[in-house]
Structure 1
């Protein structure tokens, strides 16, 4: 029996919503996988859903370290009252208050930030930082089934994806750089009935 060990879902990869995924939480969404356990489930954050809530209203000590736009992003529909942050660091090492994502080498210097730690522990190390409210979660086998059903494209991430300066264009940009059929999908109209 296949246990899903070769399902291609790995920490550090991206889920890109296909045009037929109409769930408003994920429509044209780009999700970075931050945890994946073949026997447990998967956790990710939607990278392209900025809110209008300034970080300084929610986490004032971290506001000055955020990579623009300086707002909280909606990381997914689960636990919207909880915040998590991703940060990109240069070089080697793992400073206190930061844990590298295990997975794809392209995002090896992207990790999760302990928002309870003093920001000064990481301030000198940060290249980029983004704060998310909530996350996306899938139970064991659920995400694999959604990928197989054609709801998601599974593609490699680049380190800068989590901190894209124009998150509204991230869906198109990620698809375009894949080339071939996925590059063509990037031109799919927002509302195909107006085509």
Structure 2
């Protein structure tokens, strides 16, 4: 599996849509910086019981990373070898996630905002998105952000698609926080996100509703 994390300058074109949405006004129902929580009736099996950190949302569409799907088949050390990043073994490691069904070979690091490089994009206070090799080099040598996860692939929505899914009761939403985004027990992230809304999963039904 290839990983398209690139040097900082190479990220500019890819992040054009994300950059425009992060600078957009977060009013009018835009949910950048929220967690999307899949409802039990989610019809797309790829998002069954998923929690997605929405990194960008505007009239142009939406992009997010699933934060509760551990990546199978590749370890952080394997990725560093593939990208020829030293040292291996590294001084630090990032947990690897399957970020979504779109471009599964492309890598993103969602991390605390105490570290940034050229091309890093703020998601919300406390959270930043980076897709350059600089962050992997920093982590491998013991530096980088205090907290972070590396996701391969992402979830994407066309203009109006996410709004339609929310209206059809596919998702609940709640403001993101580090305790959920960087939670190591990913098996309990869905329940923990619902708990933040004071929602009992057993009581969820097909009735429409939003957070």
Please tell me the TM-score bracket, short chain as reference. Answer: 0.7 to 0.9
Q: Give the gaps of 5 or more residues in structure 2.
A: 1-25, 205-211
Superposition CA RMSD, Å: 2.5
Partners of 2:156 and 2:119 in 1: how far apart?
Answer: 21
| TM-score w.r.t. length of structure 1 | 0.76
Superposition deviation, residue 118 in structure 1: 5.8
The answer to whether structure 1 residue 66 and structure 2 residue 83 are counterparts is: no
Instruction: Determine which of 43, 47, 50 is the counterpart of 2:67.
Output: 47
Give CA deviations for 1:137-176 in whole Å, capped at 9, x if unaligned. 0000000000000000011111232211101100001101
What is the total number of aligned residue pairs between the two structures? Answer: 170
Residue 157 of structure 2 corresponds to: 138
Q: Give the gaps of 5 or more residues in structure 1.
A: 189-195
Superposition deviation, residue 98 in structure 1: 6.4
Return the structure number with greater strand share.
Answer: 1
Residue 79 of structure 1 corresponds to: 103
Residue 6 of structure 1 corresponds to: 28
Q: Secondary structure at the match of 1:127?
A: coil
Residue 193 of structure 1 corresponds to: none
Q: Secondary structure at the match of 1:31?
A: strand
Q: Secondary structure at the match of 2:43?
A: coil
Partners of 2:63 and 2:126 in 1: how far apart?
Answer: 18
The structure-2 alpha-carbon separation of the partners of 1:117 and 1:175, relative to structure 1 and needing over 3 Å to count, comes to same
The answer to whether structure 1 residue 169 and structure 2 residue 188 are counterparts is: yes
Partners of 1:162 and 1:79 in 2: how far apart?
Answer: 21
Instruction: Determine which of 9, 13, 17 is the counterpart of 2:38.
Output: 17
Q: Secondary structure at the match of 1:176?
A: helix
Partners of 1:55 and 1:14 in 2: how far apart?
Answer: 25
